[in-house]
Structure 1
Amino acid sequence: MPMSIQKIAHLAGVSVATVSRVLNNSDSVKDSNREKVLQAIANSNYQPNLLARQLRTARSSMILVMVSDIANPFCAEVVKGIEEQAEQNHYRILLCNSASDVARSRSSLQLLAGKIVDGVITMDAFSTLPELAPLIGARPWVQCAEYADDGAVSCVGINDVAAAQQLVGYLADGGRQRIALINHDLDYKYAQLRQQGYQRALAERQLSWQAIGYASALRFHAGKTAMLALLAEKQRPDAVFAVSDTLAAGAIAAITGAGLRVPEDIAVAGFDGTELAEMVSPPLTTLAQPSREMGRQACALLLKRINDPDSPAERIMMPWQLITRASA
């Protein structure tokens, strides 16, 4: 049978008001009384009613995290970082796998309107952000890895153009002449920016050959299908840059399945620096994002907005790292 606040007060020999003040971390409680209440709680395994506390404080201590695809290892790592930071600050997360679907997002955002959550972190496609903005309104919001250009909403990400440029430059400087790109959906800002970085790196080195395949999803089989289409062209690439490690893994499978060698015939490079990059054969050269730290920073920014709604929007651009391995 659950222990009530009245029974805690009786056990501790204090008033119900004193127990309430202890539960709400009020400073106006004598240390001796606080100790009595905490001991009574410990002895009885009392768990305060979270909904009752929410009604008193107008805080739920919950945040909504809307990810585009939780099956994407990069998204999963970011969410781990968000959760770590949230738990350190006595918050919990609610996860919505939105697939950048506005109807699904709208349904989840009703939690925000109903004060079931205190704020939201989105990883949805750039193209859906203008539709989400009116639904979120002035409530605390941080964009992670995807962001709008106007700077009105706090965000955390990396410089995708410069990162992609560095990776493609590395392939070109290694003697590759025909570098292809396996991209994802251009509704995503990162997909647009990484394609820009790819094209800039080629232009810088006067490499006129280019080929771009678009994967239908950030999945292994989609990467494989996109790579098979590139192999079917009249002139095949001698290197491939895929915008995620998962797509790159699919590309390696397509290349080796066609009887070609990686990297001797075609070099392959990925993006994200997920654990998958070390698991494929040969191990994958990749542009590593600080995914977990990005999640932590996004959560820290959101908690800052929750605690100070008038604080200005911030844009945090994180460092990245080129990790070279046997695939390129």
Structure 2
Amino acid sequence: MNRFRRQEVTAAVVFLLPFVLTYGVLFLWPTIQLAVLSFQKAPLIGEGQWAGFRNYARLLNDKLFATAVWNTLYFVLLSVVPSTLLGLVIALGVNRLKGWTQSVILACFFLPYILPVSVVYRIWMWITDNQFGIIQYPIAAIWGENVSIFRTLPLFMPTVAFITIWWLIGFNVLLFIAGLRNISSEIYEAAALDGATRWQTFRRITWPLIWPITVLVATIQLIMQLKIFDQIYLFGQGGRTDSTLGMVELVYRSAFQKNQGGYAAAVAVVLFLVIVIVSVLQFQLARARGQR
């Protein structure tokens, strides 16, 4: 028995060792180095001086950091909940379709997800162009003139959030479809025999059983949108506007444009901790609700 046990342990070590090494080299060690760098006054590359908590104290007095935090949280509020709920609604509709119709509709929703962000940017810049964009026709009919959407601050974040939802909604729909297909049809047949309405079926059967997928989708979207950079940077015309600054863009600006590696590392550590804390809290709250 001891010999077989040693063989099992050896096999487990052999299979796990590549992952552990990769995880340690590509994630754990850079994370430790990032945390150490955040306590230094240092350039992005090169030696620095130990600064203690000065970088973190600087964050509290930095108006750009406060703006970046607010813009990031605002974007999360505009995108995470709507994309999760809309993905569920679309998945419920697509799941009712059959055959090739379902495949075509699902492909139409998933197609934008495979596009790179540069293509998404170019498509929507054409659509919203102040001179010839197709969306300017209804805007001009309502406001009486064309509107430069991405240069109008109150419209910037909601528009980018809408584009992000359009871009990523296909992935959410796909996850919800997979969850819905795991629900046995016999449960719905029994509910129909008991005279349950569609709303009762959804509230009592579909929603509780699809809840783990909902938590998964919301958590993935939360992590992705807290790290928002590409869309805001591109639609903000290269990130030249402080009013649309996000946390990742602040890291980029501090590190690569101002060569303040220590300060950029402090911002990155704060963002990392926010993602970890919010994700854990969301998971625990969701699990507590599921147990009820």
**What TM-score comes out, normalization by structure 2 length?**
0.28
Higher strand proportion: 1
Higher helix proportion: 2
**What TM-score comes out, normalization by structure 1 length?**
0.26
